[in-house]
Structure 1
């Protein structure tokens, strides 16, 4: 039937239908994916459902409308990025409405109960005072903390404390501990010097509010890679057991920590007391099938389907989170369970340099993790301690957006995973460098103007993007290439350049941000600047729910197939015939969307100044540790804050 329709249709329309299919598939796939989230237990909150319904309506009107325009008129009258920017403003308004609803302590207590169906922990009033005294714009939305803590309700406090001791006292585990006693913070001795700053930085954060915390010990992940991959079936049972524990009436609450808490924590000094470990070492081999896909439901694509074709882009894998080539939202794009091709698209999943992982639920605090992993996320000491910072100077100023060099910039190391037999060909940093510098003359699809306010996907030789379209880039792998047994092969194919001062970033209009073996520490400094951050990757951090794609930064799919179209939109495209004497030929095929790029860059910069400050890291960590204090208290079932 479909063949007959194509044969009867005028020839010029056939190619347009082919061009529209990815848009229709993306919109339809995204609608089905979002509907599944409405039905899921984790996304059952009314405000969250409202936001997802708005996204579905946007997709139906915007995505299918865009596809209709492509089939009826041979092109789209509306650029998808215009629609996505508009959607981002709606998402931001909806987010603020529910994240900052409480205006006083009483409101915050009631909102806490409405969201989480439990009473706030003891010390909640101290936290609220701490947050409001530091002008926090986020008071109510700490769903990430709730998600991280919830399954631990199924494990007894004594067992959690015993786990903590065993984890902290074996150097093989690559963990470091902090002890809190009587409001004083102490860092474990014997942590390997190259990684001790992580625990020291966490201690510096805690010291600001330690006087309000109960006695406890904490263990922190010293590796970049996440550590806790509990299979979906096992996690389901833990969450069901957690939900079965009903809260007690408010009048029966005990609003104080157990008086003998310190007796429940065995000493974690020195750091070599035991050789017991719960971790399996999965370094230097594929971890997607044995560990990562296991965190997804049995019906998910990563557990029911496999993608073996590594030469072509799996558009159906990207469809649920994209409109054409463009991600709807960074958090949707980092959902793993609908993307089986990710097994070959990230260094952590292909061949991690380090991967000590547990498939049992254990109390490990990490700076970042993959979606579905059970590491407890906390604000990164890397950013808190300014290991890389936004610090423009006379030598490296940060001019206004319009005054910057109209180019895409990235220089970085090959830190994602360990490559021995050309595994690097699937790693985003190497793929990114290869794509931009067109080392072997590949073809790419670019959404380009096809007339006034009209757009059409066009297949082009990769070498033409810089020459014909004048899309300027400065992208290089930094010397030396590391974590490899095939270093010479990578160097011959990709080339390298020397490291430059980090502050040199600010002269460029577009700054690219990529994951390494863990999260990228550059993202927050990029947000602070007047440049426009473009971000791709898989790792989640504590702040991802409060940073809005297409409003504070520009998301790029990890397959990178939409990168050139994104750059063409923001940087502008030079006419191939520019410079000729034809007066009817415009100099630019399309002008740069300078206002849109400037607006996103400034929105991100201003939001960072009020919602991603060091004070906000402390506020998040304070609330997290109050929740953790209750989870590890023997009387946790009756503990809670009473007005």
Structure 2
């Protein structure tokens, strides 16, 4: 009850602060003032979520939440597979496309379908990520898209480079950064097997890890509405428009143009949250006390301290505290965003950005590769034979630390949590779900009286490699004093460990796919999403962890087991190795089916056919009838 009353007080303070910010002369006053009931609703929502989170962590539980989460994930994954692989023939594929997307497929769909079938694609029908990424561009004319495609590559400041497809072959455009030649060459390699089926087009690729395009909410809705509704026609041409090559502008046709502003090394939260609804929590709260855990922010995507909705957990709209909890928001290293819809292809993005996702060359050309074998002394033993340890090695590449911002970055927080946490007046008391001390078969959240890692005998091996990177002012020295460092290790050493922690870097973590391919169990924490996220199910293929990391020890205790010393706490958590191995094996087998290099090609082929239609002057008159 005391905790609930605390949330009630926070809600009241929040209400008064919002009202104060809306007063005359406030620098944070919005352009239009919403009715008072909107703010009252927001306050009640904060209070309710706080109460809901509190009630979940104070009551006695009859079963462990992970049991239910894993069971639901299995059902969800099976349902996804069923709807993603309905069609067995080209005719069925065309019919399913029309049903799902309310359009005829683009020209060349037959070539794509045969390509996918010949490469034994499991996923034939669910390409919702492509459709959603491209939907706003139906609000721009083909000529506008082509002009913007030329303009975004016209100035080296933009850090965007192009690939040119003409007459069935692809080449690099005239302007590209030599440091990123590997990326563009990787794209050429990715599309080489199907370029002959593509229409003439220019493609603009983001050279930075960070996303680039954040369109304001109302404008984005207007653009998306143009791509919605039923657009099926009874008769369309199967051919691309004539003389497409002539419609694409040449470099000399435009002056150097930039739509971007350099916001590197500054807090980027408000730039991306502009895509949230005006009444969202993120749009109404312009500051957050970084020293406090916002349980009401986590509640919409949580079951107690356990992450229950991976997709929702990446949205900033209900999580204003994220501005202090990730390097991308705190201080991105290379960040040049625009609030105008621009045709930019990126390897990953966070919720709120309108970049077009494509399969990363990093994975396609094996920049990081799963290569376990006994001949190189890096076997991948069965799950039960691995070291019962959560392992992570990495650099401080998530963002550029300035004025102490490293204290909020995910990687540094993970290292601190794993190596330094003690319960004292300066540290938060973490609630950990353990067997109830007096009710057999029941569970309850408990506060440990000392260091949770020692109290639970958890094994974590989490360290920064080779010193601090990306630090300004005195932040490098401060981190040197705070952290110990580990030497560089061979990437193939990961397979020794039963549990592998994956944390975002400057973009999505390029090692996650290799973790999935192994016999270890990936624990994934992050806000970046890639082309394959829609194909994976949390708790079925990997273990999700909130970026706040407040549920990490409870989650790890479930799988690893908690052999607490006598007298520390009543009750010992039995290990759930079979459940952990089941998720690890499901993720490994699923990656072999839907995240192969062939699947990257198939996804890119379909994406570029859709892009070809969008940029065709006769896009409303062309398609594939079957």
Q: TM-score range by the shorter chain?
A: 0.7 to 0.9
Shift of 1:453: 2.2
Matching residue of 1:143: 128
Match of 1:541 among 508, 526, 530: 530
Q: Which moved more, 1:387-396 or 1:625-634?
A: 387-396
Q: Normalized against structure 1, the TM-score is what? A: 0.85
Verify: 1:627 aligned to 2:610, yes or no.
yes
C-alpha distance in structure 1 between counterparts of 2:136 and 2:58, whole Å: 47
Q: Which moved more, 1:90-99 or 1:509-518?
A: 90-99
Matching residue of 2:98: 113
C-alpha distance in structure 2 between counterparts of 1:113 and 1:147, whole Å: 15
SS state of the match for residue 295, structure 1? coil
Are the counterparts in 2 of residues 248 and 638 from structure 1 also a CA contact under 8 Å?
no
- 1:435-457 Cα shifts (integer Å, max 9, x gaps): 11125653422111125322111
Verify: 1:288 aligned to 2:272, yes or no.
no
C-alpha distance in structure 2 between counterparts of 1:335 and 1:608, whole Å: 25
SS state of the match for residue 477, structure 1? strand
Matching residue of 1:262: 245
Shift of 1:284: 1.2
Verify: 1:504 aligned to 2:493, yes or no.
yes
Matching residue of 2:414: 432
Matching residue of 1:617: 600
SS state of the match for residue 243, structure 1? coil
Shift of 1:191: 2.2
Matching residue of 1:59: none
SS state of the match for residue 82, structure 1? helix
Verify: 1:326 aligned to 2:309, yes or no.
no
C-alpha distance in structure 2 between counterparts of 1:424 and 1:127, whole Å: 46
Shift of 1:460: 2.1
- 1:183-235 Cα shifts (integer Å, max 9, x gaps): 11102244222211111111111111101100101010110000000111111
Match of 2:466 among 479, 498, 504: 479
Shift of 1:266: 2.5
Q: Which moved more, 1:466-475 or 1:535-544?
A: 466-475
SS state of the match for residue 509, structure 1? strand
SS state of the match for residue 488, structure 2? coil
Matching residue of 1:278: 259
SS state of the match for residue 620, structure 2? helix
Matching residue of 1:450: 436
Q: Normalized against structure 2, the TM-score is what? A: 0.88
Are the counterparts in 2 of residues 67 and 76 from structure 1 also a CA contact under 8 Å?
no
Matching residue of 2:383: 401
Are the counterparts in 1 of residues 209 and 506 from structure 2 also a CA contact under 8 Å?
yes
1:238-637 alignment runs, 5 A limit: 238-243=223-228, 247=231, 249-251=233-235, 253-268=236-251, 274-289=255-270, 291-394=271-374, 395-438=377-420, 442=427, 443-451=429-437, 452-460=440-448, 463=451, 465-485=452-472, 486-577=475-566, 589-637=572-620
Are the counterparts in 2 of residues 438 and 462 from structure 1 also a CA contact under 8 Å?
no
Are the counterparts in 2 of residues 439 and 494 from structure 1 also a CA contact under 8 Å?
no
Matching residue of 2:46: none
C-alpha distance in structure 2 between counterparts of 1:286 and 1:140, whole Å: 39
Shift of 1:544: 0.5
Shift of 1:305: 2.6
Q: 1:86 and 1:18, CA in 2 relative to 1: closer, same or farther beyond 3 A?
A: farther
C-alpha distance in structure 1 between counterparts of 2:150 and 2:57, whole Å: 62
SS state of the match for residue 163, structure 2? strand
Matching residue of 2:204: 219
Shift of 1:307: 5.0
Are the counterparts in 2 of residues 511 and 532 from structure 1 also a CA contact under 8 Å?
yes
Matching residue of 2:70: 85
Cα root mean square deviation, aligned? 2.5
C-alpha distance in structure 2 between counterparts of 1:353 and 1:634, whole Å: 38
Gap runs ≥5 in structure 2: 12-50
Shift of 1:66: 12
SS state of the match for residue 573, structure 1? coil
- 1:277-296 Cα shifts (integer Å, max 9, x gaps): 1111111111112x111010
C-alpha distance in structure 2 between counterparts of 1:101 and 1:333, whole Å: 29
Are the counterparts in 1 of residues 58 and 445 from structure 2 also a CA contact under 8 Å?
no
SS state of the match for residue 591, structure 1? coil
C-alpha distance in structure 1 between counterparts of 2:415 and 2:186, whole Å: 33
Shift of 1:534: 0.3
Shift of 1:458: 1.3
C-alpha distance in structure 2 between counterparts of 1:208 and 1:148, whole Å: 24
C-alpha distance in structure 2 between counterparts of 1:469 and 1:480, whole Å: 29
Are the counterparts in 2 of residues 69 and 76 from structure 1 also a CA contact under 8 Å?
no
Q: 1:243 and 1:551, CA in 2 relative to 1: closer, same or farther beyond 3 A?
A: closer
- 1:268-321 Cα shifts (integer Å, max 9, x gaps): 599xx85321111111111112x1110101111101234522112100000100
C-alpha distance in structure 1 between counterparts of 2:136 and 2:477, whole Å: 46
Q: 1:18 and 1:511, CA in 2 relative to 1: closer, same or farther beyond 3 A?
A: farther
Are the counterparts in 2 of residues 122 and 626 from structure 1 also a CA contact under 8 Å?
yes
Are the counterparts in 1 of residues 274 and 352 from structure 2 also a CA contact under 8 Å?
no
Q: Which moved more, 1:326-335 or 1:553-562?
A: 326-335
C-alpha distance in structure 1 between counterparts of 2:232 and 2:298, whole Å: 45
Matching residue of 1:40: none
Are the counterparts in 1 of residues 158 and 336 from structure 2 also a CA contact under 8 Å?
yes
Shift of 1:69: 11
Matching residue of 1:45: none
Are the counterparts in 1 of residues 162 and 175 from structure 2 also a CA contact under 8 Å?
no
Q: 1:317 and 1:65, CA in 2 relative to 1: closer, same or farther beyond 3 A?
A: closer
Verify: 1:103 aligned to 2:99, yes or no.
no
C-alpha distance in structure 2 between counterparts of 1:536 and 1:121, whole Å: 37
Gap runs ≥5 in structure 1: 1-5, 7-13, 26-62
Shift of 1:70: 6.0
Are the counterparts in 2 of residues 528 and 609 from structure 1 also a CA contact under 8 Å?
yes
Q: 1:439 and 1:488, CA in 2 relative to 1: closer, same or farther beyond 3 A?
A: farther
